[in-house]
Structure 1
Amino acid sequence: MNVEQHPYNTWIDLVSRRLGGQTLDCSDDFFAEMENLLKPEAPVFIVDKYTDRGKWMDGWESRRKRVVGYDWCVIKLGAQGIIHGVNVCTRHFAGNAPQKVSIEACSIQGAPLADTDWVTILETTDVKPDSDNFFDIDSSHEWTHVRLNIFPDGGVARLRVYGEPSINWDWFLPNEPIDLAFIKNGARPLACSDMFFSSMENLIMPDRGKNMGDGWETKRRRGGRECDWIIIKLGAVGSIEKVVVDTAHFKGNFPDSFTLEAVLLEPGKMPDENTQWQTVINKTKLSADAEHFYKDEVVSAGKHFSHIRLNMYPDGGISRLRVIGYPERG
């Protein structure tokens, strides 16, 4: 099974650089820098590329260890959350991959220190060279950092940490409105009608889209359903008071119009074909390459919801969606 088709891709990569994931420290990165672990693109191999330290490799690679021990790398999650699985990718590390790996995690404010209490979430496990190595993580705790340990040394191309972001209540003031649909506040896209050109995750990412590829865009439809749609689990149950629909960079392919619907479901329940959606914003025209702000148009202010469905007519691309409201405290 390739990476794009793996079930972990229904979760969020919590160490993504887009969310603020960062390599903080490592025992050794003599041959290849630890920062490569979090590159968003797939690793590559360039046959005749060398540095003054040896073969250039697209990953994190330590020197050959001549003493007892192992190498490690500490990584700050871009969004704190519950970890469901990891991919320790050793692609192109055929003769220099680690023999085994383990992963520890902690939940702290600030950076880990020498006395930080680490908890093992992946026991020491064999890995295959030049492969994607997927491992389930059985933990319901919310983590802020992970430490990847490689035994005894070697190279890892990429690390992906898949899970559910969780809202950091310590950051918000009492009764402060927040973006309930923001990925770093715990929101997560569950399903969409189509994402032929770009991922549905882009819709709730930080900042404005950097280009037309940094949004959610569907293919041109020729008949069939009335509109394209996306369902998002909000980061917290709350009311919806303001909405921003941003079509940045979508100039010849923005939707003609949209509606926004929402529903309040019991914890753990997922929307299905029987879900009774309530209107939040009635069908409204959109324009090219612009932020659209809605407050008076919200017809459900004060009601609480757990999930939203954005419908765009008939198809096209939207860069970002912001759903501002008052959350129920977790």
Structure 2
Amino acid sequence: MTDAPKEGRLARFLDFTQLVDMASEAVGGKVLFATDDFFAPAESLIKSDRPSFKEHEYTEFGKWMDGWETRRKRIPGHDWCIIQLGIQGSIQGFDVDISYFSGNHAPRVSIQAANLEEDKLPEIPQRGVRTGAAATPEEFGAIAELKLDTWDYLLPMTELKPGNPASSHNYFLVNSPQRWSHVRLNIFPDGGIARLRVYGTGQKDWTATDPTEPVDLASIAFGGVCVGFSNAHFGHPNNVIGVGKPKSIADGWETARRLDRPPVLQTDENGLLLVPGCEWAVFRLAHPGVITQIEIDTKYFKGNSPDSCKVDGCILTTQEEEDMVKHKWILPIHKWKPLLHVTKLSPNQNHFLDSLTLELQDVITHARLTIIPDGGLSRLRLKGFPSSICLLRPREKPMMRFSVKAGFRANL
């Protein structure tokens, strides 16, 4: 049994918010249980969009709120809910957002986590429409099988601080390298929370990978992450390595229009634009490996897709990556090797391309996607085979998943 939570404190380091929200409904997050959903259901906690406020809208139970809000508790205990993460992995931080819950926010929270095998989960009743309802004895009985008293506290009992009513975030740095599949959000004793963001990095059991089938080594669900970019005016590059098919133009990476575009555009003999600038994003692969297939999707980008793109790869140690982040990815040119030469792109279309490493068989740890001159993409898939030589090691620092020697080169 874990120790009882102690008072926590608000984190001041917000870099983890650039990672994936592993609890979001957009990546498959799901609410399994909540003690009470009287004013607003717990499913709103994991909505991918920002909370909103409708001043004059009411339900038969009270004021309509975009979040999870329980009734004013008049019995012993406190309220809590269980969320199954859509992406399982390490948790780097939380955002407990109480926007618009002025006068009704939960005074304190704590957060627990567990790593549960899906095939061993008890049968939990479907939640259905929950507004105005409380958990039934049957639901309490089913959820008790999860042995909640053994779950680890990642965030001890902590006071929530209201801020701007329309943007009231409480950020907490966690840095928990273990693999987690479920979180329990406790509120003390009752009240409302608009959104819960569980930021982290996915983890995959690479020993279970089929050695004959290529796997997306850049996928955010497996641990891929963007570690640098030139511009993300309309959407973060982490979106392009996201889960599943793109849902809209908002579910992609899009840059601002470059101001160094020539007044009159021209093309070369291959139909490629002659422009001086470009935009780029660097991704750390979920596992070192050989990239054999590249998928670049411009779906939904009909009038703002790039003219062309290219992809390069390299090997970086943990320390080299840290140095490059500090120097904004100004790398020696010999580090990068081409995976895909400059290739013309079409709007609103998925492009399936062979990697140059079909011949070179180079193992890489990082990939750089360059778009010319600017624009947006919805997905990037770097499919290939994880290297059996570059082995994973336990994380000594947040987000650093492996260590390789500089200049390492090998064939599978």
TM-score (norm 2): 0.74
Aligned mates of 2:355, 2:310 — CA distance in 1: 14
Deviates more, 1:306-315 or 1:121-130: 121-130
Aligned mates of 2:71, 2:319 — CA distance in 1: 46
Aligned mates of 1:79, 1:296 — CA distance in 2: 28
Determine if contact 1:80/1:165 at 8 Å carries over to the other structure: yes
Aligned length: 326
**What are structure 1's unaligned runs of at least 5 residues?**
none
Aligned mates of 1:23, 1:169 — CA distance in 2: 28
Return closer, same or farther for 1:296/1:56 CA change in 2, 3 Å cut-off: closer
RMSD: 2.1
Question: Per residue, is there more strand in 1 or in 2?
Answer: 1
Matched, 1:259 2:292: no
Deviates more, 1:216-225 or 1:259-268: 216-225
CA offset at residue 138 of structure 1?
Answer: 4.1
Determine if contact 2:225/2:283 at 8 Å carries over to the other structure: yes
Moved segments of 4+, more than 6 Å: none
Matched, 1:33 2:84: no
1:59-74 pair list within 5 angstroms: 59-74=67-82
Return closer, same or farther for 1:91/1:170 CA change in 2, 3 Å cut-off: farther
Residue 277 of structure 2: SS of its match in structure 1? coil
Matched, 1:308 2:367: yes
CA offset at residue 18 of structure 1?
Answer: 1.6
Residue 52 of structure 2: SS of its match in structure 1? coil
Residue 82 of structure 2: SS of its match in structure 1? strand
Structure 2 counterpart of 1:274, from 324, 331, 334:
331
The amino acid across from 1:118 in the alignment is W
CA offset at residue 9 of structure 1?
Answer: 2.1
Structure 2 counterpart of 1:120, from 150, 153, 157:
153
Q: Percent identity?
A: 40
Deviations 1:159-200 (A, max 9, x none): 011112222436633454210111112111122111222221
Match of residue 179 from structure 1:
216
Residue 48 of structure 1: SS of its match in structure 2? coil
Question: Per residue, is there more helix in 1 or in 2?
Answer: 2
Match of residue 298 from structure 2:
247
Aligned mates of 1:187, 1:41 — CA distance in 2: 23
Aligned mates of 1:317, 1:99 — CA distance in 2: 41
Aligned mates of 2:347, 2:213 — CA distance in 1: 31
Matched, 1:55 2:63: yes
CA offset at residue 322 of structure 1?
Answer: 0.8
CA offset at residue 299 of structure 1?
Answer: 5.8
Match of residue 137 from structure 1:
174
Aligned mates of 1:122, 1:264 — CA distance in 2: 35
Determine if contact 1:280/1:299 at 8 Å carries over to the other structure: no
Determine if contact 1:241/1:301 at 8 Å carries over to the other structure: no
Determine if contact 1:281/1:299 at 8 Å carries over to the other structure: no
Structure number with larger C-alpha Rg: 2
Matched, 1:158 2:166: no
Aligned mates of 1:141, 1:326 — CA distance in 2: 24
**What are structure 2's unaligned runs of at least 5 residues?**
1-12, 122-142, 262-275, 393-412
CA offset at residue 281 of structure 1?
Answer: 1.2
Determine if contact 2:294/2:355 at 8 Å carries over to the other structure: no
CA offset at residue 301 of structure 1?
Answer: 4.5
TM-score (norm 1): 0.92
Structure 2 counterpart of 1:193, from 230, 241, 253:
230
Return closer, same or farther for 1:241/1:128 CA change in 2, 3 Å cut-off: same
Aligned mates of 1:138, 1:219 — CA distance in 2: 32
Matched, 1:93 2:101: yes
Determine if contact 2:290/2:386 at 8 Å carries over to the other structure: yes
Determine if contact 2:14/2:171 at 8 Å carries over to the other structure: no
Structure 2 counterpart of 1:17, from 25, 30, 38:
25
Deviations 1:134-174 (A, max 9, x none): 11114221111100000111111110111122224366334
The amino acid across from 2:255 in the alignment is T
